[in-house]
Amino acid sequence: MKAWDGRFEKGTEPLMERFSASIGVDWVLFPYDIKGSIAYAEMLFKIGIVNQREKNLLITALKEIRNELEMGRLPFSDALEDIHMHIEARLIEKVGELGKKLHTGRSRNDQVAVDMRMFLKEALEQIDGGLKQLLAALLGKAGTEQRTMMPGYTHTQRAQVVTFSHYLLAYFYMFKRDRQRVKEAFTRIDALPLGSGALAGSTIPIDREFLKERLGFSKITENSMDAVSDRDFLLDALFSLSMIMMHLSRLSEDLILFSTEEFGFVSLPDGLCTGSSLMPHKKNPDAVELIRGKAARTLGDLTSLFALLKGLPLTYNRDLQEDKEPVFHAVTTTHSCLAIMTLVIEGLAVRRERMKEAVVASFMPAVEMAEYLVLKDVPFREAHQIVGKMVKYCEEQKKRLVELTLEEMRRFCAVFDDDVRSYIDPGHILKSRKTIGGASYKEVAREIAREQKYLRH
Ligand code: ARG
Distance 319 CA to ligand 1 centre (A): 9
Q: What is the pLDDT of residue 280?
A: 87
Q: What is the pLDDT of residue 457?
A: 82
Pocket residues for ligand 1 (CB within 6 Å)?
22, 26, 82, 108-109, 112, 316, 318, 320-321
d(CA 316, CA 108) in angstroms, rounded, equals: 10
Q: Which of 247, 249, 252, 276 is catalytic?
A: 276
pTM above 0.85, yes or no: yes
Instruction: Report pLDDT digits (tens) over 393-433.
Output: 999 999 999 999 999 999 999 999 999 999 999 999 999 99
Q: What is the pLDDT of residue 83?
A: 98
Distance 73 CA to ligand 1 centre (A): 24
| Closest protein CA for atom 11 of ligand 1 | 318
Helix (H) and strand (E) counts for the chain? 19, 6
pLDDT bucket at 435, cuts 50 / 70 / 90: very high
Q: Which of 155, 277, 281, 457 is catalytic?
A: 155
Q: What is the mean pLDDT of residues 232-236?
A: 98
CATH topology identical between 109-357 and 361-456? no
Q: Which atom of ligand 1 lies nearest, measured to the CA of 82? A: 1
Residue 276 known to be catalytic: yes
- For residues 291 and 252, the answer to whether their CB atoms sit within 8 Å is yes
pLDDT over 90 at 6, yes or no: no
Q: What percent of the chain shows pLDDT beyond 90?
A: 95
β partners of residue 274: 284
Which DSSP letter does residue 284 get? B
Q: What is the mean pLDDT of residues 95-112?
A: 97
Q: What is the mean pLDDT of residues 1-7?
A: 82
From 16, 81, 82, 305, mutation site for ligand 1 pocket: most ligand atoms within 8 A of C-beta: 82
Domain 5-104, CATH among 1.10.275.10, 1.10.10.10, 3.40.50.300, 2.40.50.140: 1.10.275.10
Average pLDDT for the chain: 97
Q: Which helix (H) or strand (E) holds 149?
A: strand 149-154
Q: What contacts 412, CB < 8 A, 6 or more positions away?
A: 386, 387, 389, 390, 393
| Closest protein CA for atom 2 of ligand 1 | 321
For residue 77, what are the CA distances in angstroms to 2, 21, 74, 291?
Answer: 12, 8, 10, 35
Domain 109-357, CATH among 1.20.200.10, 3.40.50.2300, 3.40.50.720, 3.10.105.10: 1.20.200.10
pLDDT over 80 at 1, yes or no: no
Distance 222 CA to ligand 1 centre (A): 21
- Classify domain 361-456 by CATH number: 1.10.40.30
- For residues 38 and 79, the answer to whether their CB atoms sit within 8 Å is no
More confident residue, 419 or 2: 419
Instruction: Report pLDDT digits (tens) over 64-100.
Output: 999 999 999 999 999 999 999 999 999 999 999 999 9
Domain ranges in the chain are: 5-104, 109-357, 361-456
Q: Which atom of ligand 1 lies nearest, measured to the CA of 83? A: 1
For residue 261, what are the CA distances in angstroms to 225, 245, 266, 282, 283?
Answer: 59, 26, 10, 11, 11
Q: What is the pLDDT of residue 79?
A: 94
Distance 80 CA to ligand 1 centre (A): 12
Q: Which atom of ligand 1 lies nearest, measured to the CA of 324? A: 4
The helix/strand/coil state of 363 is coil
Q: What is the pLDDT of residue 118?
A: 98
Distance 129 CA to ligand 1 centre (A): 31
- The torsion of the CA quartet 230, 303, 170, 374, rounded to 10 degrees, works out to -110
From 33, 320, 325, mutation site for ligand 1 pocket: most ligand atoms within 8 A of C-beta: 320
Cis peptide before 315 (omega within 30 of 0): yes
